[in-house]
Amino acid sequence: MKFSGTTPSALAAIGMALLSGVALADIKIGITVPLTGFAAADGKSALDGAKLAVAQTNAKGGVNGEKLDMVVYDDQASPKEAVPAATKLIEKDKVVGAVSGSYSGSTRAASAIFQAAQVPYVVSYAIHPDITRSGDFMFRVSAMGEVQGRGGAKLVSSLGKKKVVLITLKNDFGQSLAAGFKEGAAKYGITIAGEHEYSIQDRQFGALVSAVKAQEPEVIYASGYFYTAGPLVNQLRAAGVTATIIGQEGYDSEKFMEIAGPASEGVLITTSLDRDSTNPATKAFLADFKAANNAGADMVAAATYTATQVLIDGLRKTGGKGGAALRDAIAAGTYDSAIGKLSFNDLHEVNKDLQVQVVKDKSFRRHSVISDPVLLAAPTKASR
């Protein structure tokens, strides 16, 4: 059954590959993504998402009759690897545009290089505010940390809860979420009964869990990635903590349920991928990703797929040309994407709804959607 759908497209891809040999030079785009090191799991997801977008484009005839060629560099989610990776993409591979499928630290470092070379850089899920501040060749398809944090506070208030303990991952991601959450908490009259921080290498939270338990919160707002949040949630429940746990898009992976096991049931997350979406673009992405990778998509894959599509869409408009023309084409576009309807503001950030998903029977399902254009407004050039 599955094969009847894939064979023609596979044939088409082979056909395109053969054709492109005699056609014009390929259009080169780049991606910086962590393929080794601590973030390698997210990097693999991101790359799978980006590859899907490129393969789909090439299967449909490429851009302007030319095949897309994606050059991949491993940045290990580390600034010191990201700088040479970005430089190579620009100087050696001469890419017309690039995608970040990586974390904030490395993406921030790369953004300055791409900006200086005037190569558009579409960022998928790195949420540090400084990235789009690097300049007008930067674009970001996901909601910034502060915005998601404010949304988290609204979620707590809509659940009718008041007493929250924060468990914050000590990096760009966790700290910007905590800042946004505290801002929102003040607005909704939420009491913060305690604040804890942990490092990205921590997997054993014994002491921290004891401290949280003693503070008796109604809600725990815990930032982290699935590989920290899985053990954390598991250990919180094992110690008998029954408070509602709210996480964010870092939890958004099937691995989270695998690691936390039954403890994951009922955990809420704010993210950008809605598994129960009725949006055709989201449904198509979820199905295509599953067919291509034999695994369910996560937020990282969806965001990187979308970022790659945004770049490709811009290239279609410019006929494969980069530089300022590509920047303007991307900025002017509106996108009906796997993570919702997107358009960029003057700082090249997106405004969109926040999806709340809940873990039910070992998978993420829709819980609610936070739609609040004022609270969830992305920063603009004027606002900072």
Q: How far is the CB of 161 from other proteins (least distance, A)?
A: 23
Cα dihedral 30/35/37/38 (nearest 10):
100
Overall size of the chain counted in residues: 384
**Helix (H) / strand (E) containing 358:** strand 354-360
By beta-carbon proximity to other proteins, the closer residue of 227 and 251 is 227
Indicate the residue among 267 and 312 with the shorter CB distance to other proteins. 267
Q: Residues with Cβ < 8 Å from 84, sequence gap 6 or more?
A: none
* Integer-rounded Cα radius of gyration of the chain: 21
Q: Find residue 344's DSSP bridge partners.
A: 350
Residue closer to other proteins (CB basis): 258 or 336: 258
Residues that bind other proteins (CB under 8 A): 35-38, 40-41, 43-44, 170, 195-199, 201-204, 206-211, 213-214, 227, 230-231, 234-235, 238-240, 253, 255, 258-261
- With the CA atoms of 210, 184, 346 and 341 taken in that order, what torsion angle do they form, in degrees rounded to the nearest 10? 80
Q: Kindly state the smallest distance separating residue 289's Cβ from other proteins, in Å.
A: 15
> Is the Cβ–Cβ distance between 287 and 34 less than 8 Å?
no
Residue 146 CB, nearest approach to other proteins (Å)? 20
Minimum CB separation of residue 100 from other proteins in Å reads: 18
Q: Torsion over CA of 232, 233, 238 and 244, rounded to 10 degrees?
A: 140
Residue 165 beta carbon to other proteins: minimum distance, rounded to whole angstroms? 13
Strands (E) located in 209-323:
219-222, 244-247, 268-271
Burial status of residue 56 (CB atoms within 10 A of its CB: 0-12, 13-18, 19 or more): buried
Contacts of 328 (CB under 8 A, 6+ apart): none
Q: Name the residue nearer to other proteins (CB basis): 278 or 294.
A: 294
Least CB distance to other proteins at residue 293 (A): 12
Measured from the CB atom, is 61 or 194 closer to other proteins? Answer: 194
- Based on CB atoms, which residue is closest to other proteins, 151 or 250? 250
Least distance in angstroms from the C-beta of 263 to other proteins: 9
* Residue with Cβ nearer other proteins (121 or 205): 205
Q: Which amino acid is at 318?
A: T
Comparing CA positions, the residue from 92, 94, 79, 64 lying closest to residue 32 is 79
**C-alpha to C-alpha distance for 106 and 378, rounded to whole angstroms:** 22
Residue with smaller CB distance to other proteins, 148 or 171: 171
Q: How far is the CB of 261 from other proteins (least distance, A)?
A: 6
